[in-house]
Structure 1
Amino acid sequence: MPPTPAHPRLGERVLNAVSRDPLTATHRTRNDALLAAAIGVLSVALALLVDHGRRPDALGWVLLVGSVVPLVWRRAHPGPVLVLVLACVGPYHALDNTHAAPVPASLVALYTVAVTARPLYTFFVGCLVIGVSLAIMFNVGTHEGLESLRTSGWILAVLVCGVDVRIYRRYIASVVGRAERAERTREEEAARRVAEERLRIARDLHDLLAHSITLIGVQTSVASHVLTVDPDRLDRAAIAKALDDIAETCRTARGELRTTLEVLRADGPDCDGPLPDLAALPDLVRTAGAELTLLTGDAQMPPAVEAAAYRIVQESLTNAVRHGGAGVRITVTVVRDEADLRVEVADDGNAQSPVPGAGFGIIGMRERARSVGGTLSAGPRGDGPGFEVAATLPLQPSEAAV
């Protein structure tokens, strides 16, 4: 059986009640009605048992009840409730009825104003209440006035207590607000990271599948051409090479696809999988039948820069093989200087411009270059037929302008 949740202790319930905003508390009207009933019983007991002034007559009882009833709405309308209570308490004291009886209702009304209003407003209300109380009691008698002056410290104590509770509640509300904002920030950051990871996976899958499928299609066309052009003079070596290239492309694609999908199955936050690097460029270029010039030295480069360069070359080779026409020659140049890694992929095919609606290849390459703070240009070659892609990737992408 599931464990029964422990009920909060009395101290915890009291602390929660003090910390809660009185205007948002549940069942506040019902609770205030019960409080008003309890204060009414206490006031009647004080009126009957305490011999300080004369026992209330009919008008006195009406005024005493009138000072208690408005407390039912004290939290919804603290200011008007205080005015109504004072409007009944003032004549009650002026008639020299038992002076202790309406004190509980007066103090509760004052506390409600202090706990809900601004401190400056509470200060003025306290001064007004003390001033009116002293004027009425001194009008009744000097002894009563001096006694009221002596006990006016209770009014100040109640007001100070209310202001202190209000400050405490505002502090608790600010702490809760900061915690909620921090939680929302964490959730937004997690959502942003998930979106970035999905975009990265989508780019990798696009580059991988587009490149591999394009090469397989070209190699299959080569084998089909050899078989159909001159069946009597079958070039077994050419067919075997085309089939070997297809098999190699499938193996490479399968390995990269497994690596990419492992990211989706991983549960840990750091399971991003290995990034492709420049060491895999020779095999990639050889599979596409291109020429490679690789001058990067032995110094270590940021993995993100190497991955971006690899994917740019991969997508450029895919586009060149797909759109360059038969017998296209492709040259790949990757050169590193002091601050940048320069990538150039050029072909001599017959594609003069990107095919409208052909996909998101060039857009994806630009996004990859931009992700490490670099730039990329793609367009027809200026020195002859063909197409050229040129990218400049800074070796310190964290310091690049975004």
Structure 2
Amino acid sequence: MVKPKSKVVRVRVGGPLASHQPALASILAERGYTPLTRVNHFQVMAHLSQWLAVRGFGVADLTSDRVDEYLTQRQADGYSAFCSRGSIRSLLEVLCSAGAPVTGPDPAPVSAADELLAGYDRFLRHERGLVASTTTAYVLRARRFLDGYGHGAVLHGLDTAAITAAVLREAGTGSAGSAQFFVVALRSFLRYCHLTGLIGTDMSGAALPVTGRRRSVLPRGLTSKQARALLSTCDRRTARGRRDYAVIVLLLRLGLRSREVAALQLEDIDWRAGQIAIHGKGHREDRLPLPADVGQAIAGYLRHGRPNDGPYRDVFLRSLAPQRGLSREAVALIVRRAGIRAGLGSFGPHRLRHTVATDMVAAGIGLGPIGQVLRHSDASSTSIYARVDIEQLRAIARPLHDGGVR
């Protein structure tokens, strides 16, 4: 049975917000909202405009508190949709541009510790080239250290005892892995404080490593049959299916990280030269050959799946509004969903990166070339694949008289 379509195709907004409807229409269209979804946003705009008119308010009277009051009243009236700030974000952006003070009061003055951490954040992003997720994790642990130290940004009296106490506190409240990461972040923060002159000497060495048993897990890749099953779950008759297929082919063939797929821009693909530019860790850029099947998958999505009427230069876009480039989390979700559909279970993009490496090991390729393909900056990152070929390890093992191995 065909689901009936809404007959509502046009909403006329009256009252104090009437003149701002074209601006909202423009921003909704730019972000990829469908005509029917735009109707829903216009209905909310008309409802808010009526609410303001009844109370004798104009756009300039729409403060942050009045937005909260309206949303509370809307929910009390029985509405279940568009009852949060996030759901009317586009409308609030339009009204804010028109002079409505909807952003709330000025933020409280930041403390010296906040300024220190903000500078550390900028240092990690711009000088070290760390991605946002890693930067956030480092800053969070630096804040935890400052809170435990208790002297804010005044660090000239910092000594090794205080650093050791911070590490012991962390080791006593979480896992060994969590404490180890805390030490890594703390050393980075202490080096930054020395570089900026807050600490006279580099005290990063005072953050001693935390020991802990770690399971030695062999990297697991997919078999050829599993890889084909994963790709077959993408319905290439749809725009989303073409996009997901191209994303998974990129991960399987080039061993990219999820953030590298998400960062791809249209200008990164040189179709004439058959190359693709990859933006990796630490602002590193590598130009790789573009395999024919990868190029065909991306071209199929660009021609028949990707919206081309927006300002975005990302290769891969969201399939639902608001239209914007995929995040690394969205790339991971594409892989997880495909794995579940294929009956392979839930796993992330790194499993596909392992697939590239394990296939190269099986083909007899050395660790050096594997590290180059995966763009490892440290050979130790590639060394884990030396343990992949179990059959070769068994052949090396010396048999004992009782049938065991030495």
TM over 0.5: no
Task: Decide which structure has greater strand share.
Answer: 1
Q: Which has the higher helix share?
A: 1
TM-score of the superposed pair, with normalisation by structure 1: 0.18
Bigger radius of gyration: 1
TM-score w.r.t. length of structure 2: 0.17
